[in-house]
């Protein structure tokens, strides 16, 4: 069974006619967007707000109408993936480099729905290096501040040069090993001058769709 496809397509059930949808980035939500494209061709009326240029390109290819924040005043449902999910539905996101736009869209959504295969479920966040988006100016100092907080930052590369986000920023992938207090770390990281945002999404996910051990769809709601 293709877990990503199963949970990704299940998320499309939460999309209704007339909704504004936040379209996430990644290999699992790809299946959500692909199914939404088929539904649009069958008459579903929605508007999408993409979290990345990559997702924008995919949505246009599938014929999904797009909107911007200038045109809408709310998002009904944002659907996105995650790199790690803990039992409290706190997330690590940003492996695809779109964490800032993903967080802006998730915050603006009435419902933030996360799709994740079972391998993304963890007891404690941190095995996946935490992405931290930083402005290029002064990044050497920003790196030092990240180390003070206990991280081991590694500048993300792309073909031998620093990886650039869609916003023109850089990303430090920070190994923290175990993140036992993700809310505190999220706050402390964002207090560092030069940090734009980080990939901890705490208290944001309303629903997480995954598969249980019996390979059946499992829907978890934030308490």
Contact 153, 172 (CB under 8 A): yes
Is 10 annotated in a binding site? The answer is no
User: Is 51 marked as binding a ligand?
Assistant: no
Instruction: Say if residue 215 carries a ligand binding annotation.
Output: no
**63 has binding-site annotation:** no
DSSP characters over 2-71: -HHHHHHHHHGGG--TT-EEEE--STTHHHHHHHHHHHHHTT---EEEESSHHHHHHHHHHT--B--TTT
According to the annotation, is 81 in a ligand binding site? Answer: yes
* Bridge-based pairing state of the strands 109-115 and 170-175: unpaired
* Residue 168 annotated as lining a ligand binding site: no
194 in a known ligand binding site: no
102 is catalytic: yes
CA 27, distance to chain mean position in Å, is: 11
Q: Is 94 annotated as a binding residue?
A: yes
Q: What are the C-alpha distances in Å from 32 to residues 89, 109, 222?
A: 20, 17, 21
Q: Which of 102, 147, 186, 216 is catalytic?
A: 102
- Residues annotated in the binding site for substrate, as ranges? 25-28, 80-83, 93-96, 120
Which amino acids are annotated catalytic?
102
- Residues annotated in the binding site, as ranges? 25-28, 80-83, 93-96, 120
């Amino acid at each position: 069974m293709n877990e990503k496809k199963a949970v990704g397509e299940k998320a499309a059930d939460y999309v209704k006619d007339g909704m504004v949808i936040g379209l996430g980035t990644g290999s699992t939500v790809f299946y959500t967007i692909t199914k939404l494209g088929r539904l649009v061709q069958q008459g579903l009326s929605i508007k999408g707000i993409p979290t990345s240029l990559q997702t924008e390109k995919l949505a246009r290819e599938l014929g999904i109408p797009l909107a911007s924040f200038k045109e809408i005043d709310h998002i009904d449902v944002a659907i996105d993936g995650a790199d790690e999910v803990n039992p409290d539905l706190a997330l690590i996101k940003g492996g695809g480099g779109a964490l800032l736009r993903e967080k802006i869209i998730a915050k603006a959504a009435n419902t933030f729905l996360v799709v994740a295969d079972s391998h993304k479920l963890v007891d404690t966040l941190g095995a996946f290096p935490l992405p931290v988006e930083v402005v290029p100016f002064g990044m050497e100092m920003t790196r030092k501040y990240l180390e003070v907080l206990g991280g081991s930052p590694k500048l993300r590369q792309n073909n031998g040069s620093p990886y650039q986000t869609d916003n023109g920023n850089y990303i430090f992938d920070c190994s923290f090993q175990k993140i036992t207090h993700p809310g505190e770390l999220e706050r402390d990281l964002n207090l560092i001058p030069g940090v734009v945002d980080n990939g901890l999404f705490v208290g944001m996910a309303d629903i997480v769709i995954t598969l249980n051990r019996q390979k059946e769809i499992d829907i978890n709601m934030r308490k």
